[in-house]
Every structure is written in C-alpha cells, then in structure tokens.
Amino acid sequence: MPRLDFERLAIFGDSLSDAGEIQRLTGAVLQIPFPLAGAGYAGVMSNGPVYSQTLPTLVGVGAEVFAVSGARAIGTRPLWQILELDGPAPPFDDAPIAPLLRNDADRSELSVDVNLGGQVDRFLATPGQPDTAAAFLIGLLDLAALDTGSPALVFDAIARVGGILDSTADAARRVVEAGAADTLIFYGFPDTTFVPGTAELGAPVRVALETLIGLHLSGLQDIAKDFADEGIPSTVIDFAALTRALGADPDAFGFTAKGPILFGSGADPDIGPPASPGGPPTLGFPRNPEVADLPPDRVQFYDELHPTTAMHDLIAVYSDAWLTRESHVRSDLGTLGLFGDGDEFVLANGGSDIVALRRGPDIALAGLGDDTVFGGGGKDILSGGSGDDSLYGGYGKDLIAGGPGDDMAKGGHGPDVLIDGAGSDLHLGRGGDDVFVWTGRSAPDDADTMIGGTGADTLYLAATPEAVSAFEAAQVGRSAWDIALGHWKIPGLGLSVAGIETLRLYDAPSDIGGASPDMIEAADLWGLL
C-alpha cells in the first residue's frame, strides 16, 4: 500500500516493543529494577535501543510507547502476577523476589495492568493529538501460555489465536472510536525459527506453529481491511517474511550467530547471596561461551527471548520500508519483477530473481540465489544476499551491497556507495564521486576488484588489524603513475584497486564520509556494514 500519513506513533505490545516501561514499574517496587543494567541491558530487554525507539526517527514522527514486558493481548495481568507474588499486598514471604522488594514500595504500581487493555486505558488517558497511528505487536505471550500437555492443544491454540485477534481488534476499535488514532498498524508474528531453540522443534510442531502464524496474519489482514473499508488507513507488517528471510540467509543481514549472548529470559536471573551483609541479593545471567568472541552486533539474540539491538535495528528499518513504500514479498521460486514509478520495497527471497525498479527511492533485498537487480532513477538500496548476483544502480545516488557470493555491483551516473561482502566481487563505480567499502567479511582466498570511474572516488577499509597494516603499507612507494591512475597495492586483503583516488580506514559506519549520512545509516541498520 502507499505511504501512510501520520505525525505521531503510539506503540502497544510486549517486551519486544517495551521502551523502558517495565524498568519504570519495577523500579518503583524493587531495590534492583528489571532488566538488570549490570547484565548489560540498556533499560530495555536488549543491549541497546529496541525497534520502537528507533522506528519513529526513521519515519520522522514523534512517538509514545505504551508496551510493557510480560504483556498479553487477552484479559488483564497486574504487575504482581509478573513478579510471581500472591497479590498486591503483603505478606510476600514465599515469593522468590521478596528479598528485592523495597520497604517504601509504591504498592499501587503492583496493581498496574500491563496487558493490552491496560495499555490502551493509559493511552486514552493522555491528551490526544491529530494524525496519530496506533501500532500493535502483541500476542506471542498468549500463545506461550498455552498448556502444551493438553489433549485439546490444537483446538486450544486455534481458539487462542482467535482471542488474540479479537482483543487486538477491540483495542484498535477503542482508539479509533475515541478519536485518539486515525491510522492503524498491525504486526504479524515472526517465523517459527526466529527465537533460539525453536529450530530444534519437531516437524509436526513447526508445521502447527506455522499454521497458527498464518491464521494470525490472515486474521490481521481481515481486520485491517475492515478498518480500511471504513476509511481508516490500515496496514499489516508481515514480520514472518522478514524473519523467514533472515533464517534462510543470516549472513546477508550481517549476522554470524543466532545466540543468545546470555542464558535466561531477562527476568529470571540467578539469585545469589548479598555482596555485603544486609544488602540485596546478587543477580546475574550466565553468558554463552559459544558467542563470547563475537561482536554483539553479529549475534541476533541477547538472551533466550529478546533480540540484540542490531536485530532491533533490522526490525526498525524493515518496518520503515514497509510503512513508507509499496511492499512486495516474493516466493522462493525464481521470479521476474517489473515495478512501477512509485516507492517500492521488494523482498525477493529464494530463487534466482530478476528485479527491475524504476524512478522511486526503492529498496530491493534479492535474497538467496543468483539474482539480477536493476535500480532506476531514484535513490535506491540494492542488496544481493547470498549467491552470485549482478546489481546495477542506475541513475540515482544508490547503495549497492553484493552480500555473500561472487557478485558484480555496478554504479551509475550518481555518487554511489558500493559495499563489499564475502566472496570474490567486482565493483564498478562509473560516474560520480563514489564510495567503496571493504567490510572485512571476505575470506582469505577471496579476490575482490574495485574500479572507480570519472569522479573523485574513495575506498574505506574496515579497521581490522590486517587492514590497518595493509593501509600503512599501501601508502609507501606509490609511483606517479599509481597516483594518476588511482592504483593501490593493498597487500594481504585480496584487493585489486584502480581508478580510486583516496584510501581511508573506518572504525564505525559514521566514519564513512563522501556519501549521504542517511544512506550509510540505512546500510548499517540493514546489517550491510
């Protein structure tokens, strides 16, 4: 659908969307609020900003986040239940968390309803603003609460999805009829393989879960259509499409491992004796040795249920693409896609695809397979994914990333950004002052060729120890001929470079100059850097 028009975003949901509300609530009643800062949590259920904190800036709107960790779509759930207390008033002697309760605790906070209905109540109690969109990502914990030992599990699960849909529709109806929102955004559930450990589920369980995810998505689409028929702009973001593409090709999004970095779920720490007499218990989470040596931004999950901030960045930029462009999710078969003059977002998935874009500022993620992507006249983002891809930028200021595989990336007449990935790649800048980026993801036996064009081009090397040494060596002994032709001898990195005037190092994406900052930020959020 075309871009939704709104100036304010109100976000409802659970721990995936919680931007700090559970820490505020627990800080009022516990000596040590959750999530634990000492375990690396950044006031949210992640090691940095979550998607609900990043998305508003990308879309260019203000936002309020009402989501609370532990929230469900159906019914009511006071905070004291999440803390596993027997009620909102003492005694709390038998509760594991009792030693952490503050003597001066605000007991009223223990009765706060964290569920969707309570979030909507609090939203409606705030002053309304015009041009507000309400976004809902809720229901995963309702499914998690099912009794998996029940002989009627299948029927219970279908009924539970129906209850989630009814509660979500009721919440949307309330905010619309109150005049508090005039645009609606619904998120489907992620794919079954998204959360660590679910990939090991048996085939029958995975098929059943996929069916429930499909039922939920279809139900949301029906709800959105009903509201749209009433004149309320509505859309459904297909979360499963993103996580399915991620599961099939994690390297294309910059991830090396699923994780988690910490064992546990963020709210179930190991409780040890006080560090000093009379003090609170010590709390912590065991770390996963399998990912201990990886940078956190190469790991998808921070704990067993909650993504890293790098994963949240991906959710945010995907949501932005969905909300601001006409979205197309293709099949895993090789497809031919010819798109119009609008702003397009194409998730091509598996197969050897041909994607042809035209004038808009488009985004194409080609996915697995040997793909061919043609940009048009706009400011495009083209990512080949895994496979031997051919990417053509066209006339705009394009960002072109080959991904894993032996790729050919060709810029156009504008100042383009060409990003190297794993594999033996050919990057051609052509016209404009182009920026080439060597990300350090190449294998030792990869051989990359980077050729500038008629502009003043720059090659940035990720400042790995090998690249720093190669950079220093490349400055020595350059002939007048090398300087005139933009030749660089860069030992040890498998790079052949010609027609590029300047060589630089970068420690962080923000160090990459010569290109529009929004394009570099987008590349970072998509995991291309």
- What is the CATH class of 8-311? alpha beta
**Peptide bond before 260: cis, by omega within 30 degrees of 0?**
yes
Encoded tokens for 36: 């634990």
- The type of residue at 377 is G
How many alpha carbons fall within 13 Å on the CB side of residue 322?
A: 21
- Is the alpha carbon torsion for 192, 198, 199, 202 positive or negative? negative
How many alpha carbons fall within 13 Å on the CB side of residue 50?
A: 25
Return the pLDDT at 254.
Answer: 95
Residue from 176, 73, 185 nearest 135 by CA: 185
Q: How far apart are CA 12 and CA 479, in angstroms?
A: 62
Per domain, the residue ranges of the chain are: 8-311, 325-525
Encoded tokens for 75: 């019914």
- H or E element, residue 168: helix 153-177
Helical ranges in 28-114 per DSSP H: 51-59, 79-82
pTM over 0.85: yes
Q: Would strands 408-410 and 390-392 be described as parallel, antiparallel, or unpaired?
A: parallel
CA 150 to chain centre: 34
Q: How far apart are CA 226 and CA 243, in angstroms?
A: 27
Q: How far apart are CA 403 and CA 529, in angstroms?
A: 10
- Which residues, in sequence order, are CB contacts of 293 under 8 Å at separation 6+? none
Return the pLDDT at 78.
Answer: 96
Per-residue pLDDT of the chain (529 residues; tens, 9 = 90+): 557 889 999 999 999 999 999 999 999 998 889 999 989 999 999 999 999 999 999 999 999 999 999 999 999 999 999 998 888 887 777 778 887 888 877 778 899 999 999 999 999 999 888 999 999 999 999 999 988 788 888 899 999 999 999 999 999 999 999 999 999 999 999 999 899 987 777 777 788 889 999 999 999 999 999 999 999 999 999 999 999 999 999 999 999 999 999 998 887 787 777 778 877 777 888 999 999 999 999 999 999 999 999 999 999 999 999 999 988 888 777 676 777 677 888 888 877 888 888 877 899 898 888 888 888 777 899 998 888 889 998 887 899 998 888 999 998 888 899 999 888 899 999 888 999 999 988 888 889 999 998 889 999 999 999 999 999 999 998 999 999 999 999 988 989 999 999 999 999 999 998 877 889 999 999 999 9
Encoded tokens for 25: 């609530």
Q: How far apart are CA 301 and CA 311, in angstroms?
A: 7
SS3 465: helix
Identify whether the C-beta of residue 515 lies closer than 8 Å to the C-beta of residue 435.
yes
Encoded tokens for 105: 């605790």
Buried b (16+ CB within 10 A) or exposed e, 168-203: bbebbbbbbeeebbbbbbbbbbbbbbbbbebeeeee
How many CB atoms neighbour CB 93 within 10 A? 8
Residue from 24, 36, 35, 28 nearest 102 by CA: 28
How many CB atoms neighbour CB 226 within 10 A? 14
- The type of residue at 489 is K
Can you point out the beta strands (E) in 46-145?
A: 62-65, 132-137
Q: How far apart are CA 435 and CA 371, in angstroms?
A: 23
Cα-trace Rg, the chain: 25
- Tracing tokens 């810029």 back to the chain, one arrives at 411
**DSSP codes joined into one string, 313-339:** HHHHHHHHHHHHSEEEE--SS--EEE-
Return the pLDDT at 58.
Answer: 96
Buried b (16+ CB within 10 A) or exposed e, 496-526: ebebbbbbebbeebeebebbeeebbbbbbbb
Return the pLDDT at 334.
Answer: 66
Encoded tokens for 101: 């309760």
SS3 134: strand
Return the pLDDT at 279.
Answer: 73
- Tracing tokens 């705030």 back to the chain, one arrives at 126
Residue from 136, 122, 119, 131 nearest 52 by CA: 136
- The type of residue at 256 is T
Encoded tokens for 225: 């259509």
